[in-house]
Structure 1
Amino acid sequence: MSSFLIPHSGLTLEIRCLDLEDVHIHEEIVPEMLERLAESIENDKVLKHPVIVDAASHVVLDGMHRVAAMKMIGCVRIACCLVDYMDKRIKIGRWYRTVKGEAVSRCGDLLAEASIPQVACSRTCQEHIDAGEAEAAIESPQTHILIPSSNRGLIEAYRTVKRLEEIFRSHGCSVDYSTEADAFARLRDGKIDAVLLTPLIDKETVVAEALKGNVFVHKATRHVIPARPLNIDVPLELLRDERVPLEVVNSRLSEILRGRVVTRFPANSLIDGRRYEEETFVFS
């Protein structure tokens, strides 16, 4: 199968197209985000960035909404950057929710009104979460609350997280997403009122659930890839015609990419208004 390869410190980035029906998302789609993205891609007439996909299982690690958007606008293929997901240099983390609003002071009562079980922490919330003893936890300067594990699995645990987000938002709070370290730094600095802690998900669970057609809520996993390609600008017309064999599509894609200049940027570079913590290979 023709493809374009970018060697990177022993971890190969392989750019090639896959049939959309053969890739598997692992997080749910947010309709508002999908509509905006589909319109943007249609207007650009190219797919700017490839989705990051596990080479072995074709599970999407980054780019769920691009997959859905490409389907929405009538494409049958999508450009992917294939990686070895089980490589130790690819990390999986989580997004903590940061909460700001007066209702945080009443969160125990809000959970009780919603019939969500809660218990006090006997250790730090982080320790309970990482031991698998809780589906979620809420930590503020005044409050340390655990949502005890129901033993229904991580998909259901994250549905509980989503429900907690909805409760806070419905009572006028803002809810955002941060890394673990950033969330607690913001809490210490008084920039937020609480941190909603979420459980760890391992790579094997991501793959297993995705291949069964199950999806986690939005912002469940945070994948850190050592490097990624950007601005490959694949013409949509190349991705729409199902009559063209996939091998031919990939030959054309490789030809397009070989004709481009690739610039390597170090980690934490600002590209098109976004800061990437990984190295990037930018096509032009």
Structure 2
Amino acid sequence: MSSNSWMDQLSFTITFLKISEVKPHEEIIEKNASELIKSIKKDGVQIDPVIVDKNTNVALDGMHRILALRAIDAKRIMVAKVDYFDEKIKVHRWLRAVRNFSMALLDELKVVFELKKATSQLEAMQAVDNEKSPIAILVGNVGYFSSLNATGFERFNLIREFDKRIKEYSGIMEKEIEQYLNNGFLILYVKKPEKEEVIKAGLTGTLFPPKSTRHVIPFRPVNLRCPLELLSGKFNDQEAYEILSRLIESSPKKVLPPYSIYAGRIYEEELVLYNG
């Protein structure tokens, strides 16, 4: 196998952790969690490893999987350990886009968040990115930024206040802002999270709101399909790990290129697809 093979670029270790050792950094959406619990019980497997920082066991994704496995009394969880501060791993933000909003909602947001009209949407976004404002609202061709003094994790409470006032939203990427504005959406623009904030949230339990972070993990492992009996108390740690090792070794693997669709989602990074 050549030195530049994709196998040589893998930077994760798949293993088990006690489920109590894994630290979420983000809250969950109750409806999604309930649906996942039913799905896991039906399938009888943990399909994808939860990605965790190898030094702290803070989970970078898979918050709903963690809760679902706890709900069915799993003792351990399949994880992929990575070096979170490897520069190849990126953390981005999800933005909230709201369809069919009313002018009454916009007027309410202006009051609640003490919004000031910016000279342009770019100015409103830059105010957030430069930490001069905790959030911005973009609608049509107009931008507003909040004059509230909410720094650090305090800005999370503003996102929660926003969520209380809307029925549903779409999580969108920065490159989709113009498209959604042109289609009549209202957008909540927030500061890009830092890796240090993600780790702090996991270690302190001061969690990000749901759908806040979007991680890009090069060669993300998916579809390993670990049987639930390996997560239960049926096997001791050594037995469970040996069975998992054989499962990893025997599972056929292939790499999906960036922007492939897996489980209904488009991934920016390469995926290592097991059992594909």
Query: TM-score if structure 1 supplies the norm length?
Result: 0.87
Give the deviation of 1:116 after TM superposition: 3.1
Q: What CA distance in whole angstroms lies between the structure 2 residues aligned with 1:266 and 1:122? A: 41
Alignment equivalent of 1:116, drawn from 113, 118, 121? 113
Identity of aligned pairs, percent?
30
Shift of 1:65: 0.3
1:72 corresponding residue in structure 2: 71
Cα distance in 1 for residues equivalent to 2:113 and 2:267: 38
Q: Does 1:180 align with 2:174?
A: yes
Give the AA of the match of 1:253: L
Distance change >3 Å, CA 90–CA 185, structure 1 → 2: same
State how far apart, in whole Å, the 2-side matches of 1:235 and 1:206 are.
Answer: 29
After superposition, where does 1:10-25 map in structure 2 within 5 Å?
10-25=9-24
Other-structure match for 2:53: 54
For residues 211-230 of structure 1, the C-alpha deviation after alignment (integer angstroms, 9 at most, x for no partner) is 01111100111111112111
Q: Distance in 2 between matches of 1:158 and 1:196?
A: 12
Look up the equivalent residue of 1:185 and give its one-letter code: Q
SS at match of 1:196: strand
Deviation at 1:141, TM superposition (A): 2.5
2:13 and 2:212 map into 1 onto residues whose CA distance is: 25
CA distance in 1, matches of 2:143, 2:261: 37
Secondary structure at the counterpart of residue 92 of structure 2: strand
Query: 3-state DSSP class of the match of 1:205?
Result: helix
Amino acid at match of 1:247: Q
Report if the CA contact (8 A) 2:219-2:255 is conserved. Answer: no
Note if 1:141 corresponds to 2:140: yes
Q: After the TM superposition, which residues 1-284 of structure 1 pair with which residues of structure 2 at under 5 Å, given as runs?
A: 10-103=9-102, 105-111=103-109, 115-121=112-118, 124-141=123-140, 143-154=142-153, 156-169=154-167, 175-187=169-181, 190-241=182-233, 244-284=235-275
The number of residues matched between the two structures is 269
Distance 2:101 2:231 in 1: 49
- Once the two structures are superposed, residues 57-108 of structure 1 have per-residue CA deviations (whole angstroms, 9 ceiling, x without a partner) of 11100100000000001101000011110001111110111122241x4455
The alignment partner of 1:62 has SS state of: coil
Aligned amino acid, residue 100 of structure 1: R
Contact conserved, 2:135 with 2:155, CA < 8 A, in 1? yes
1:199 deviates by 1.2
Aligned AA (2:215): H
Structure 2 unaligned segments of length 5 or more: list them. Answer: none
> What is the distance in 1 between the residues matched to 2:243 and 2:273?
19
Give the drift of 1:111. 2.5
Secondary structure in structure 2 of the residue aligned to 1:252: helix
- 2:101–2:186 Cα contact (<8 Å) kept: no
The aligned amino acid for 1:177 is G
